[in-house]
Amino acid sequence: MAAAYAASPSRRIEGELAKLLGRRIEVALTSGRVYSGVLKGYDYPSLTLLLVDAEEQGGSGRYPLLILTGNVIAEIRVREVPLFDANEFAEYLVRRLGLRPDAVKVHEEAGAVIVYNTIRVTEGGVEGSGGLVPKISFVLKEYLEKKRRGEKLL
């Protein structure tokens, strides 16, 4: 179910950044300062980051909005483990709903699963139309709840 092609390193980095949108991250600067906040946006390849609800490590300050330019960023750290794994969910969906494996495609860079080329599933929800959407939404909710509880998927 993996992507049919190998993404370039640059594309993989951008894909990983896209998966971090809406997640709390830490950003270490070349000056030694460290900020944590929710990644709200980024510019690639400059790596300029937009953080909301940000704070400087050591309690020096809180900022509702913080823009960090890529040339001052030394590291981007992720402390949260994402619940949604596109490959794992695709396999779970195929088994749970009895779908044909070729009807489900994984776009790892986007962290998305595409079903029958019309329904897109990400950790954020299900987009598309048709009778299968409510079933996929239910399976997504079930999958995420099992992951949160640390239960075995199937």
Q: Let me know whether 91 and 66 are in one domain.
A: no
C-alpha closest to that of 121 among 130, 133, 109, 14: 133
Report the number of distinct structural domains present in the chain: 2
Among the candidates 40, 55, 78, a domain finishes at: 78
Does residue 2 belong to any structural domain of this protein?
A: no
Q: Let me know whether 93 and 142 are in one domain.
A: yes
The model's pTM is 0.60
pLDDT of residue 5: 45
Whole-angstrom CA distances from 67 to 13, 45, 87, 99 are: 19, 15, 32, 44
Residue 31 belongs to domain with CATH number:
2.30.30.100
How does pLDDT run across 64-120, given as a tens digit for each residue?
999 999 999 999 999 777 788 899 999 999 999 999 999 999 988 778 999 999 999
Q: Let me know whether 55 and 90 are in one domain.
A: no
Taking the C-alpha atoms of residue 73 and residue 89, their distance in angstroms, rounded to an integer, is 33
Q: Which residue has the higher pLDDT, 117 or 21?
A: 117
Residue 116 belongs to domain with CATH number:
3.30.310.60
